[in-house]
Chain A
Amino acid sequence: GNSVTQMEGPVTLSEEAFLTINCTYTATGYPSLFWYVQYPGEGLQLLLKATKADDKGSNKGFEATYRKETTSFHLEKGSVQVSDSAVYFCALLGNFNKFYFGSGTKLNVKP
């Protein structure tokens, strides 16, 4: 079946530090992969996506590369800001138009 596993949080970093949030997936076929961000009290916003192996999604300084050989889609940012503090969800689009989400990773960035 389909599933998404992401690293547990919270992740606490100082401003300008390098960020990695790990995400691995299990799926049949070649799913599309996504990262969403959720700010407190709000819905999820699409951050980036990749639709095939070796694709790199990027947005607002965040990047993630679709690695089929390791079934991974790790989120990275070279220099985080306090405003990046949020919860990040990894997701995949499986069969029958069903989306599967990881459990979320909370990021705290301190000044």
Chain B
Amino acid sequence: DGGITQSPKYLFRKEGQNVTLSCEQNLNHDAMYWYRQDPGQGLRLIYYSQIVNDFQKGDIAEGYSVSREKKESFPLTVTSAQKNPTAFYLCASSRQGRSSGNTIYFGEGSWLTVV
């Protein structure tokens, strides 16, 4: 089936550790995104990438890093500089451009908890 796969579903991080969340899509989409969602809250954009080997900071990029070496993959690293990383992380993808059929699709999300 076509879609977006995030892993792991649940992840625990110790203080001072970096952790990486995986996101893979087989929809042949050019654009990929990472959002953070805190309990009972809306979505906040962390990073997005419109094309391979290029990405831009979103609204809350501090303490996070990404790479886009392949079209299908957009991993997110939560670094030790992110002081409050406990949240639900959502990866998404879309086609490029503002065509009328363009839609953003989401993975199932990853829960990150600091222990």
Given contacts A43-B109, A44-B106, contact A99 B94 (CB under 8 A): yes
Instruction: Determine whether B108 belongs to the interface, using a CB cutoff of 8 Å to chain A.
Output: yes
* Smallest CB separation, A19 vs chain B (Å): 20
**Which chain A residues lie closer than 8 Å to B107 at the CB level?**
43
State whether A52 touches B100 (Cβ < 8 A). Answer: yes
Bound state CA distance, A45 and B31, in angstroms? 18
Q: Are A101 and B103 in contact, with the CB atoms below 8 A?
A: no
CB under 8 Å from chain B, chain A span 94-111: 95-99, 101-104, 106
Q: Is there an interface contact between B43 and A97, defined as CB atoms closer than 8 Å?
A: no
Q: Are B42 and A89 in contact (CB under 8 A)?
A: yes
In the docked arrangement, what's the CA distance between A97 and B29, Å? Answer: 12
- The number of chain A residues with a CB under 8 A from chain B is 25
List 19 additional A-B contacts (Cβ < 8 Å) besides A32-B102, A97-B98, A98-B48. A32-B100, A32-B103, A34-B103, A34-B104, A36-B106, A42-B109, A43-B108, A43-B109, A44-B43, A49-B103, A51-B100, A52-B100, A91-B104, A97-B31, A97-B50, A97-B94, A99-B104, A101-B43, A103-B41
Distance of B56 from chain A, by nearest CB (Å): 9
Q: Which residues of A contact B105 (CB under 8 A)?
A: 46
CB neighbours of A45 from chain B (8 A): 106
Q: Scan residues 22-57 of chain A and give those whose CB is less than 8 A from a CB of chain B.
A: 32, 34, 36, 41-46, 49, 51-52
Number of interface residues of B (CB under 8 A): 27
In the assembled complex, the Cα of A97 lies from the Cα of B104 at a distance in Å of: 10
Across the two chains, which residue of chain A brings its CB closest to B106? A43
Partner of A43, one of B42, B90, B100, B103: B90
Q: With an 8 A cutoff between CB atoms, is A93 at the interface?
A: yes
What are the 9 closest A-B residue pairs judged by CB atoms, nearest first?
Answer: A43-B106, A51-B100, A103-B42, A44-B106, A43-B108, A43-B109, A101-B43, A99-B104, A104-B42
